[in-house]
Amino acid sequence: MFRITTILASALLLSTLCAFAQHNISGTVKDINNQPLQKVSISLKGHKHTTFSDGNGSFHMEDLPTGIYTIHFSHTGFQGQDIAFNTDSTRPVDIVLLPSLEQLQTVEITGRKEIGYKNTNTFIGTKTATPLREVPASIAYVTKELIQDQAAVRIGDVVKNMSGVNQFTFYDDLTIRGFRINGGSTTQLMNGMRTFTGFWKQPMVNYLERVEVIKGPASALFGNASPGGVINRVTKKPLDEDRKSLSFTMGSFNSTRALLDFTGPLNEDKTILYRLNLGYENAESFRVLQFDKNLVIAPSVSFLPNKKTRINFDAVYNKSNSRLDRGQSVFMGQGLYSTPISQALNATNDYLNEETYTVMASLNHQFSSRLAFNLAYLRTGYTEDLLEHRSANENARDAKGIEIPSLIARQVFVRKKNPASANASMYLTYDANTGKIEHKLLAGYDYSQATLSPGASQMTATNYQLKSGGVAPYYPADSLKYVTYEYKTASGEKIVIPKPNVPSFDLLNPNNVLEDMNRYVYTAQNSAVQPTFNSLGGMYLQDQIKLGALQLLLGVRYETYTDRRNYKKANQKKVNQHAFLPRIGLVYTATKNINVYGVYTRGYNPQDAAIQSNPASGGPFNPIESELIEGGLKTEWLEGKLTGNLSIYHIIQKGTLYLAGVRDQPELYLQIGKERAQGVELDITGQITKDWNIIANYSYNDAVITEAKGDDSLKIGDQKPNAPKHQGNLWTKYTIPAGKVKGLGIGVGANFVTTRNVSLNATQTLPGYALLNAALYYKVNKVQLQVNFNNLTDKTYWVGGYDYLRLFPGAPRNWQATISYTF
């Protein structure tokens, strides 16, 4: 009995000693080049033990009870890593940390794994992955989750969620802080690279991870750009985990859409990743004769041959068949509501066929944990095949030359063209420390060119029929030379009017019919599509400096712009322009939740090459110059789940072109002396709770002409076209997390804009409007049902316009129903 008791006591004592035995963990941390890393944070998950590696990369933890631990390693610029450790082991823990490619890459090549309305990092502000709150600039964005929740189809549906961004027309045509940008120019970006989308039709957004806008002239990083800002389309990138989704949508105006999004690894080692987005749309419109048939194919592949290198390939192909909608015309002198918003001036045989492709390849290579090289190339091609009956931008006239309120003069365009652009970018980034000061250095060069090759052509039918058989502009003094006919006015009076080459559109008896194209007299108008070539090359340096709570951004770009006037002709002449573009930004961390920032930058934007080369434009014109002063607050709340940003800005621009509005010189431009935009913007984005998402914004923008010459001085003080002084938006979604109706969600939103001018003539204005939208969601396992209701109050409104002959009304009340399956 004594022996058994002794054995039991000994066993109990031994187990007690083992339980209270103390153990140590030692090891080293190195980078991929076998160099030691210092100041790496090493912690035990679930415990308070924390230490840091020394100058040799070594670390040591003492007095740990027996057990199994998870050791977490983290270091700025590197991917975090967890290691399981058993105290029974006597081996040291030697680990290699991989660099974070998101920190040093030139373009966004790593798929975003965040889910929700909030985005944490941006590349567009500094060309390196930087937290948004540390960028001294105002950057607005919309994520794919918000796009899906609102069932947004095009950029015009998306931009209402961004402060200071507004539609100009139906087309891929926007204003940012009162300054116009459009898809037909190469001042738009895709993944941070210069591109264009074609002007007429807004592309679908199903292949985009998010849409973002860097406010103010971004010339110091990307070359010539609008002083209002630059829009960047970020494509969806491959992920290293399997995700697949299918969705089908039907709704108002006989709309149907089908979307596919597949991503994941192609091999067990996850060294080859893919993503494929497909989109198909077949939709009519509330507008007469308008329709859209679109096909989008967007594949993306990532290849990781080793731990230091990543290669990406992205492509987007978009085929569009539609008609070109030139807008609504109203009775002269009778106001906006004198014709229905459904009215269009097309003929049945009109068409617009477009194809756009972008192909992008990028390489990221880590020479060391501090030094990286980035190389990227993007090419964009576009083809346009157009036939349209459209407004001649004026009313038809009687024999005395007096405008007839009910008749809209029409013209016909037949056009084919195939512009293209290419953009190459390369630069090095290097992280360095000088004492307590951290530096993120960037040095690089980029080159882009845009061409319209020979072969583009345009035939135009316009003017009035001559008795001799030709056509000519109408002059009342020569009225006997023209063919005439009788027209019955709204009052019943019969008047004699000259017969147009293309039948005028009668607002009293609208008739969209199949027109006989053979009876028109055409003239070549190739000045609008003559060959052009322009290129842009820029060297830039940037340093992001950090000292404690203070961060300083210093950047400079030297740019050369080349325009080959009379391109491909015997008298071709190369014209160079140069610009020196500085950017200075400051961010100060006032508290844990609040950063204060300020920025000064200059912009430079050569005039459009086609306008410069057109002898009828009145050019050549001097380049546009701009500068921005901006300051504000960037805040984070609710443990970083909700952000609130405030910006105050002042922009000056010199040298903008506007159409002169001269009857006999429709292509003549004016270069107005000076413009100013200043205002305030407020943006709130993120989550209030895990199941409650919100985005809200408001902007005040005072964008006016401040200096002009001659008759143009009458325009001083006018608000710029399609630039509302006030606009705002709210969208919120709540999903019930538990109970019998778990998975049921509701979304509610509203947006408004105030009165806008539609031209430099302040007497032509569009009324402000407020729209109410809503959505219902129900998710069961992997299936979600979604119904969106837009313009619930059936408000009549206009998103933009050029004048009262070219107005762009918004859609009446409509709905969309979507079923999606994720697996």
Q: Give the SS3 label for residue 610.
A: helix
pLDDT of residue 13: 47
Angle at 462 between CA 460 and CA 466, to 5 degrees: 125
Place of tokens 């030691």: 36
The two counts, helices (H) then strands (E), for the chain are 6, 51
b/e per residue 536-566 (b: at least 16 CB within 10 A): bbbebebbbbbeeeebbbebbbebebebbbe
Contact criterion met (CB below 8 Å) for 404 and 333 = no
Cβ atoms 79, 99 nearer than 8 A: yes
How far, in Å, CA of 711 to CA of 821, rounded?
A: 61
Question: Can you list the residues of the chain whose pLDDT is less than 50?
Answer: 2, 13-20, 101-104
Phi, psi at 757, each rounded to 5°:
-80, 145
CB 416 within 8 A of CB 407: no
What tokens does 123 get? 């590349």
Q: Is 747 exposed, middle or buried (0-12, 13-18, 19+ CB in 10 A)?
A: buried
Q: What pLDDT sits at residue 390? A: 96
Residue 534 pairs in a beta bridge with 450, 563
* Residue environment code for 311-329, b if the CB has 16+ CB neighbours within 10 A, otherwise e: bbbbbbbbebbbbbbbbbb
**Residue 18 pLDDT:** 45
β-strand pairing of 484-488 with 594-605: unpaired
pLDDT number for residue 66: 83
Q: How far is CA 667 from the centre of its chain?
A: 29
What are the residues whose beta carbons fall under 8 Å from the beta carbon of 387, sequence distance 6 or more? 349, 350, 351, 352, 412, 413, 414, 517
**Phi/psi class of residue 95: alpha, beta or left (left: φ > 0; alpha: ψ in -120 to 50)?**
beta
Please tell me the distance from the alpha carbon of residue 679 to that of residue 725, in angstroms, as a whole number. Answer: 9
115 vs 490: CA distance, rounded Å:
59
H-helix segments, 543-645: 609-613
Q: Pairing relation of β-strands 624-637 and 594-605? A: antiparallel
For residue 3, the Cα-to-chain-centroid distance in whole angstroms is 83
Query: What pLDDT shows up at residue 240?
Result: 86
pLDDT recorded at residue 790: 98
User: Per the omega criterion (within 30 degrees of 0), is the bond before 620 cis?
Assistant: yes
Give the pairing of strands 130-131 and 272-284.
unpaired
Distances in whole angstroms, Cα of residue 514 to Cα of each of 293, 373, 391, 754: 21, 58, 17, 39
Asked if residue 753 lies in contact with residue 724, where contact means CB atoms within 8 angstroms, the answer is yes
Angstrom distance (rounded) from CA 112 to CA 301: 15
Q: Which amino acid is at 236?
A: K
Report the largest interatomic distance among the alpha carbons of the chain, rounded to a whole angstrom.
138
> What are the structural domains of the chain?
20-98 (2.60.40.1120), 102-233 (2.170.130.10), 234-459+524-822 (2.40.170.20)
| Kind and range of the H or E run holding 11 | helix 2-19
Beta strand 457-461 pairing with 464-465: unpaired
Q: Single out the residue of 804, 711, 708 nearest to residue 758, CA to CA.
A: 804
Task: Report the C-alpha gap between 140 and 135 in whole angstroms.
Answer: 12
Q: Contact 174/165 with Cβ under 8 angstroms?
A: yes
Say if CB 507 and CB 424 are below 8 A apart.
no
Contacts of 731 (CB under 8 A, 6+ apart): 146, 149, 150, 161, 694, 695, 696, 747, 748, 749, 773
Which of 650, 648, 655 minimizes the C-alpha distance to 601? 650
Alpha-carbon span 273 to 169, nearest angstrom = 39
